[in-house]
Amino acid sequence: MGRVYTTKIKRISKEVIEKSPDIFSSDYEMNKKVLRDILDVRSKKMLNQIAGYITRMKNSKHEEPEVATTEEQQE
């Protein structure tokens, strides 16, 4: 079973991704380094949770299959 993130972690992660989506990748360690520069988080645990949630969001976007539009299906 996976861990459930609090709404605070999800909200902060989504705000950071909306501001600069191209900075983050599917690499957890790189996301932690980027977050240290962007955010002023005093808690190591919170920083790790935000980095983990962002990494998970980026990985899930890469795995989603492309859905053919109705125009492509008709051809």
> The dihedral of CA 24, 38, 20, 9: what is its sign?
positive
- Domain span holding position 14: 7-61
Instruction: Tell me if 17 is assigned to some domain.
Output: yes
Instruction: Tell me if 40 is assigned to some domain.
Output: yes
pLDDT value at 67 more than 60: no
pLDDT value at 65 more than 60: no
Instruction: Tell me if 46 is assigned to some domain.
Output: yes
- Per-residue pLDDT tens digits for 4-20: 778 999 999 999 999 98
Instruction: Report yes or no: 73 and 39 within 8 Å, Cβ to Cβ.
Output: no
- The domain total for the chain is 1
